[in-house]
Structure 1
Amino acid sequence: MQMTSLKLKKILDERFQNPDWYTMYNRDKDNFRIEWRSSKQGITITLPNVVAKYNQKGEAVIDELEEHVKEALRIMNEDQQLEGMEKQIFPVIRSTSFPTKTNANNQLIYKEHTAETRIFYAIDLGKSYRLIDQPLIEKEGWSETRIDEIASFNLRSLPVDYKHDRVADNDFYFLASQDGYDASRILNEAFLEEMKANSKGEMAVAVPHQDVLIVADVQNKTGYDILAQMTMKFFAEGRIPITSLPMIYEEKQLEPIFILAKNRPETDN
């Protein structure tokens, strides 16, 4: 039997019964919200998106949704701190369209990266994470520079295991450890320099979504077309999409490129 928004709403009402939470259904926007009664902080679920996934994959979709939402609500209600959590602070790559403020209108800590990407910072909490905002660093007297230095150091300690695939005489390397920081490994300059040193042709990289980093050793024109198609496919399938544009890596710089079919890429200036 096909799921509908109203059926899903009834299921969510049952799954999120808690005296500390308040749930509401907005018929006009077709969404369902769960929030803490005390703080009014919460999560809004777009029902048609979940209905579509449910009709494809079944009950497991709702189980997964429940787990993620409850974890997010738990984190919202905790008072996180930076002191003592130094080893759990990591950089995360997001698109430039990603919000720079929280739902509570607090400024998130971020740094410009490329024309397509920005670097945010997260406290790893195991099953989930919290992005670091201005009130949190002000409360503990930390600077943005300190956050960046700690996050960069922790990133360099992460393994850089990859799978290799050779297509039409071009080499492609995929980092997909599923630890939440695969795209972040684009910030590991030592790794990029090592890959560049071993490249036979031009080196390009792509971060289509949070859970993959693609490094390409492009040795002919076909390689660019393959990379473009590959990046777009990953971008469309990613849970947290970042950018569908690959980037040329040259002289320690990343430059987003438009890849025109059968042609050399054009730099996005």
Structure 2
Amino acid sequence: MKMDSNKMRKELERRLEHPNRSFSYDKKNDQLRIENKETGKGITISLPGIVGKWEEQKEKAIDAVVYYVEEGLQAMSEELQLQGHEKRIFPVIRSTSFPTAQDGVELLHDEHTAETRIYYALDLDKTYRLIDEKLVEKEGWNRDRIKEIALFNVRSLSTEMKADQVAGNTFYFLNKNDGYDASRILNVSFLKEMEQKLNGSMAVAVPHQDVLIIADIQNDTGYDILAQMTMSFFASGRVPITALSFLFEEGELEPIFILGKNKKKD
């Protein structure tokens, strides 16, 4: 069977149908939004990315989206509380195209790089909710407190990595599937420790939410491999972030554009 956005939309609507839900389709951006009729809160999903995953994973791709939406809508119906749940506050990385507001309420966020932005989330075991200004105000907290707690918590996460050598270059992968793999890019002390261990140039990539790649680049081929690898991960991720990589130098992340065997720092 040939899958397209229209067929995918109908299949998702069928599987997510519920008396308390409404569906709306944004034809221009090819996005499907699923909302709770009572609260008006919902989730918007991009159909082309899911169709692409369906080509490789078939029903597993649809199962994953249905699970993600069900858990997300359930989490949105719960009353959130920050006080007493400090250990559940984490930073999450998103692309700069990700919305800065949700259902008309500003999401707590900070600028990161030209390609990425930092948001803050309250972990709910199987999913998490992005923290918005309304929740912060209700609890009487402030942005700095949440940022400090989130960055402290991300430093407590495992940084164990798997390594793979290709054409004289070493690639390290962190993939714990805890929702915060890409967030480890904010653990600067960890990045600096890795920098000390590497022999060549250090490149870092967060193509999607569930992976962090660190590359020990020894030759031009290494840049080509990293570019192909990052694009592949970006295309297959549930929450894509950026297909660009970064050079890590003197504690700073600089986006790099890789064209064939040429590399250009932005």
TM-score with structure 2 setting the length? 0.87
The 8 Å contact of residues 13 and 23 in structure 2, kept in 1 or not, is answered as no
SS at match of 1:217: strand
CA distance in 2, matches of 1:64, 1:81: 27
> What does residue range 131-142 of structure 1 map to in structure 2 within 5 Å?
131-142=130-141
The 8 Å contact of residues 22 and 37 in structure 2, kept in 1 or not, is answered as no
CA distance in 2, matches of 1:7, 1:147: 38
SS at match of 1:259: strand
The 8 Å contact of residues 248 and 257 in structure 1, kept in 2 or not, is answered as yes
> What does residue range 1-269 of structure 1 map to in structure 2 within 5 Å?
5=6, 9=10, 12-13=13-14, 16-18=17-19, 21-24=20-23, 34-44=34-44, 57-102=57-102, 104-263=103-262, 265-268=263-266
SS at match of 1:157: coil
SS at match of 1:248: strand
Tell me by how many angstroms 1:39 deviates: 1.9
The 8 Å contact of residues 208 and 239 in structure 2, kept in 1 or not, is answered as yes
* Residue segments in structure 2 that go unaligned for 5+ positions in a row: none
| C-alpha RMSD of matched pairs (Å) | 2.6
Tell me by how many angstroms 1:3 deviates: 6.8
| Greater displacement, 89-98 / 74-83 | 74-83
CA distance in 2, matches of 1:206, 1:111: 19
CA distance in 2, matches of 1:28, 1:254: 36
SS at match of 1:254: strand
CA distance in 1, matches of 2:43, 2:112: 29
SS at match of 1:67: helix
Tell me by how many angstroms 1:25 deviates: 6.3
TM-score with structure 1 setting the length? 0.87
SS at match of 1:114: coil
The 8 Å contact of residues 16 and 34 in structure 1, kept in 2 or not, is answered as no
Tell me by how many angstroms 1:72 deviates: 1.6
Tell me by how many angstroms 1:11 deviates: 7.6
Tell me by how many angstroms 1:63 deviates: 3.7
What CA deviation, in whole Å up to 9, does each residue of 1:68-94 have, x standing for no partner?
222222122222111111111101111
| Number of residue pairs matched by the alignment | 264
CA distance in 1, matches of 2:8, 2:248: 49
* Residue segments in structure 1 that go unaligned for 5+ positions in a row: none
Tell me by how many angstroms 1:58 deviates: 4.5
CA distance in 1, matches of 2:202, 2:52: 38
What CA deviation, in whole Å up to 9, does each residue of 1:97-147 have, x standing for no partner?
111111x11111111111111111111111111011111101111111111
Which residue identity does 1:77 align to in structure 2?
S
Tell me by how many angstroms 1:48 deviates: 7.1
CA distance in 2, matches of 1:190, 1:169: 26
SS at match of 1:91: strand
The 8 Å contact of residues 106 and 133 in structure 1, kept in 2 or not, is answered as yes
CA change 1:138–1:199 in 2 (3 A) is same
CA distance in 2, matches of 1:81, 1:153: 19
CA distance in 2, matches of 1:218, 1:193: 16
